Amino acid sequence: MSNLHLTTVATHSEGYLPVLEKQAEEKGIKLVKLGFGKKYIGHHMKDLEMIEFLKTIPSGDFIIFVDGFDSLMLSDIEEIVSKFNEKKAKLVLSIENIGILSFIHSAVFEKILGKYINTGLYMGERDFLYDFLTTMYSKENYSRQSNQKTWGSHLNKLQQQGKLENIVLDEKSDIFLNHSFSTSNRPQLKNKRIVLEEKHRPCFIQGNGKEDMGYIIKETGHDKYNEHKGDFFWEKIKYNTKAIFRVYNPILTFYIYLVFLLIGLVVFLYMRYRRKQKDKYFYMG
Q: Is residue 206 domain-shared with residue 268, that is, in the same domain?
A: no
Higher pLDDT, 37 or 234: 37
Mean pLDDT across 77-97: 97
Helix (H, G, I), strand (E, B) or coil at 188: strand
Calculate the alpha carbon distances from 219 to 5, 38, 42, 222, 224 in Å.
Answer: 26, 33, 33, 8, 12
Rounded Cα distance between 97 and 178, Å, is 8
Q: Is residue 53 domain-shared with residue 92, that is, in the same domain?
A: yes
Identify whether the C-beta of residue 217 lies closer than 8 Å to the C-beta of residue 72: yes
Identify whether the C-beta of residue 169 lies closer than 8 Å to the C-beta of residue 95: yes
- Could you say which DSSP state residue 144 is in? S
Q: Is residue 165 domain-shared with residue 262, that is, in the same domain?
A: no
Q: Is residue 238 domain-shared with residue 259, that is, in the same domain?
A: no
Residue type, 4: L
User: Residue 75: how many CB atoms within 10 A of its CB?
Assistant: 18
Q: Is residue 219 domain-shared with residue 277, that is, in the same domain?
A: no
Indicate the range of 73-77, 197-201, 203-207, 252-256 predicted with least confidence. 252-256
φ/ψ region of 162 (left if φ > 0, alpha if ψ in -120 to 50, else beta) reads left
Indicate the range of 57-71, 148-162, 216-230, 262-276 predicted with least confidence. 262-276
Q: Is residue 159 domain-shared with residue 23, that is, in the same domain?
A: yes
Q: Is residue 42 domain-shared with residue 142, that is, in the same domain?
A: yes
Q: At what angle do helices 44-54 and 147-160 cross, to 10 degrees?
A: 70
Give residue-wise pLDDT tens across range 196-221: 987 899 999 999 878 899 999 999 99
Give residue-wise pLDDT tens across range 96-142: 988 766 656 566 678 888 899 999 999 999 999 999 999 999 876 77
Rounded Cα distance between 202 and 196, Å, is 8
Cβ burial, residue 52 (10 Å; 0-12/13-18/19+)? exposed
Higher pLDDT, 146 or 283: 146
Q: Confidence class of residue 183 from pLDDT cuts 50, 70 and 90? A: confident
Mean pLDDT across 45-74: 97
Q: Is residue 136 domain-shared with residue 275, that is, in the same domain?
A: no
Q: Is residue 143 domain-shared with residue 218, that is, in the same domain?
A: yes
**Rounded (5°) CA angle 30-50-243:** 100
Q: Is residue 181 domain-shared with residue 221, that is, in the same domain?
A: yes
Is the pLDDT reported for residue 89 higher than 70? yes
Which has the closest alpha carbon to 30: 3, 60, 1, 2?
3
CATH number at residue 108: 3.90.550.10
What integer pLDDT is reported at residue 282 of this predicted model? 54
Rg of the chain over all Cα atoms, to the nearest angstrom:
23
What's the domain range around 238?
Answer: 4-246
Q: Is residue 39 domain-shared with residue 64, that is, in the same domain?
A: yes
Q: Is residue 242 domain-shared with residue 258, that is, in the same domain?
A: no
Helix (H, G, I), strand (E, B) or coil at 235: helix
Q: How many domains does the chain have?
A: 2
Element (H, E) at 195: strand 193-195
Model-level pTM? 0.82
